[in-house]
Structure 1
């Protein structure tokens, strides 16, 4: 599918973005491991989260959907069933890596695979700690890539120092730790998003966290809960960058999750000069939530690197759009993890923005953008990556001439109605 984006005069209105993808995944998984019923409101019915539902159903979990609600009939920590077929995680790295942690704790055999893109994403980072805990895992290419064949059960608690700051790696180990006796600890080089820890506590697990160190105690009594999923800040960032870069824009994005381990992009955009306000702050099922107002602003370049990278890794493509529009130089470094996403996002960002007349230089772990040039419309490939498709669309709002996004159907992974929402706030 191709979508054409025309430059807009300004942006006006109110937006409600879909439910948070990370929280939607975790609510289904923990609901499945809990005793009793878990009701999830504002669930994200994107392709990735539907992959999690499909996989958990394959493990014998009864899951029903009505409107934006998902109801999970929990089977308890020891209640999952050996699947009678291969489990397909689709394009979802979160599904594959977190479910691998759950399967590692269960005393049966399973095979976990995904689409062509997911089968090229690195899996040693979760296989290594899970085998250290006692799971038997075989994988393609010498244990590097899916499919994963897992024989779980009999896990032992460990203290694992992760070489990467990754919420998926940390979460896989913590979920496996639920099945071990005693405390399982993960130590990261930089703290990653903490949705798993928060939700584990909400379901009744004992979790302690201090800085980059997180510990979960095994064999908890998990109980089904009512979950309201806040709006996904990663989805909100496309509108926040759009609002900051389009002259005269005034947007409010409602009920956005503002977990401090996810707001790095918001901090950077503010640092660049964006006029942003957080309104009506509150807490919902252990997660901070607020409305966010953004207005058109004059942006300046900045440096992005170091410990903030895990807090904004998914938002770097759209922040690159802000940097291209801003005055001055923006340097992104320490972000080599971008090369291991749905596509090589460093190479993809460089190709898309360069085609639109941006001055951008590729680096092994990021890029340098010398902003201030007027972007021009171009034909942009999405690379099958939802975040690249939406970033290209945001860039097209301020470009001279039309921008065409090829392969735009990939937005269904996280934001099926993205283009409709964008049209609804555009003022020609």
Structure 2
């Protein structure tokens, strides 16, 4: 689907969708629990549906209706399974250790950029712990064997998703285990969300000087709860407000562990007068990588040069997000320069309309819709259907607060 977004400021109230990061974790923990859990305020994004389908394939019973899932934990573990992770890196990286801990011989399949996203920490460590891979740098690939405990040495700089995957799996093992980080852990707030979910389900993890200690033989207990609102999705509306819109954003928890909550502080700090003047920024984005595309849009309207740093991991997301957002903004009058691990953004005050591609990346498409509020002419976004990955009705919500959109099949 291609859409054309017309330049208009937005006004009204939105309730942000549930956090995808939190929902993944709640679904997995519930499926591993000894009993029935109920999760409310679930949103049927493609990624969350993929995680549900994978947990069903591993033996969980999941009844999903409306925004509520009733999940009966795994009782009968299959000997083998096929896990279709679609394009979800979280689903893939969280469930490789889980499937191996359960002793399920598994075929992992996926599409889009997922086959190119690295799983190196598992390839390096799991053969030392009873698991073999049939892997040729693409998908499908296969795991065989049952994971055993012990020490797992993991590079913390590739993705926190590997730490989360291990944290879900290690309580299921007979042996005690230790995750030893060989480098600084980036995106630690995501691991904090995982630790909170584990505590809710009765699993204990001890943080050590250089990683985590997990006692074996633990049992997940059922837990019922509500998925909190997603700060990474709220960021699009927060930035739109900084650019002159007037949106009341509901559904967020001030007590959230989400690292993307930092968007509130960022937007408050850069607006420096009542007329909407915006200070430039220089941000270490190692803990907030999902905010980078929309922050790049924001930087295009700041007075001076802004910098995104420590964001090299964005080159292996749904697309190379540093390249994609640079190309999109430069195509409509922006001045964005790619750095080795980030971006230099020169404020230009306004952007032209024109035509850009989403690069099949939901965050690029939504960021460009925010940019369109300050374009001087309409902006066409090709491949806009990619928002279904995380926020399927984003454009309907956008229209409900005054946005004007025309659609092509």
TM-score, structure 2 as length reference:
0.91
Determine the C-alpha separation between the residues in 2 that align with 1:112 and 1:405. Answer: 32
Counterpart for residue 268 of structure 2: 270
Alignment of 1:281-292 (within 5 A): none
1:83 CA displacement: 3.6
Shift of the 354–97 alpha-carbon distance from structure 1 to 2, 3 Å rule, reads same
Query: Contact 1:238/1:390 (CA < 8 Å) preserved in 2?
Result: yes
- 1:50 partner SS: helix
Matched, 1:359 2:335: yes
1:137 to 133, 158, 162: 133
Report 1:89-104 matches (<5 A). 89-104=85-100
1:267 and 1:123 map into 2 onto residues whose CA distance is 33
Structure 2 residue aligned with 1:283 = none
1:103-182 map, 5 Å: 103-141=99-137, 145-164=138-157, 166-180=159-173, 181-182=175-176
In 1, distance between residues paired with 2:43 and 2:269?
30
Aligned to 1:239: 237
Bigger Cα displacement from structure 2, 180-189 vs 103-112: 180-189
Could you tell me which residue of structure 2 aligns to residue 12 of structure 1?
11
CA contact (8 A) 2:158 2:313 kept: no
* Compared CA separation, residues 111 and 328, structure 1 to 2 (3 A): same
Task: Quote the offset at 1:107 in angstroms.
Answer: 2.1
Deviations 1:119-152 (A, max 9, x none): 12112133323334332222123xxx43231113
Q: What's the secondary structure of 2:278's corresponding residue?
A: coil
Quote the residue 1:32 is aligned against.
31
Give the whole-Å Cα distance in 2 for the aligned partners of 1:152 and 1:272.
52
Task: Tell me what 2:381 maps to.
Answer: 405
**Per-residue CA distance 1:168-215 (angstroms, 9 max, x = gap):** 111122123123311322435035222111101110001123686333
Structure 1 length normalisation: TM-score?
A: 0.87
Would the aligned equivalents of 2:18 and 2:229 in 1 still touch at CA under 8 Å?
A: yes
3-state SS of the aligned residue for 2:240? helix
Give the conservation status (yes or no) of the 8 Å contact 1:243–1:296.
no
Which position in structure 1 is the counterpart of 2:46? 47
Say which is worse superposed, 22-31 or 406-415, in terms of deviation. 22-31
Gaps of 5+ in 2: 405-409
SS of structure 2 residue aligned to 1:30: helix
CA distance in 1, matches of 2:390, 2:228: 14
CA distance in 1, matches of 2:243, 2:148: 51
Matches for 1:361-376 after TM superposition, within 5 Å:
361-376=337-352
Whether the 8 Å contact between 1:190 and 1:212 is mirrored in structure 2 is: no
- Evaluate the alpha carbon distance shift between residue 50 and residue 211 of structure 1 in structure 2; reply closer, same or farther with a 3 A threshold: farther
| Shift, 1:71, TM fit | 1.0
In structure 1, C-alpha distance between the alignment counterparts of 2:202 and 2:355, rounded to whole Å: 50
Give the 3 Å change call, closer, same or farther, for CA 356–195 of structure 1 in structure 2: same
Counterpart Cα distance in 1 of 2:59 and 2:280 = 51
CA distance in 2, matches of 1:73, 1:423: 38
What does the per-residue CA deviation read over 1:248-274, in whole Å, with 9 as the maximum and x for residues that have no partner?
A: x24233234732533233333333237
Provide the aligned C-alpha RMSD in A: 2.2
Partner of 1:62: 61
Q: Give the count of matched residue pairs.
A: 398
1:424 aligns to what?
400
Contact 2:105–2:142 under 8 Å retained in 1: yes
Structure 1: gaps spanning 5 or more residues: 276-294
* Contact 2:58–2:74 under 8 Å retained in 1: no
Give deviations 1:11-65, integer Å, cap 9, x for gaps: 3222111111011111111111110001110112100110011111112211111
- Residues 61 and 72, structure 1, Cα contact 8 Å, conserved in 2: yes
Whether 1:414 aligns to 2:390 is: yes
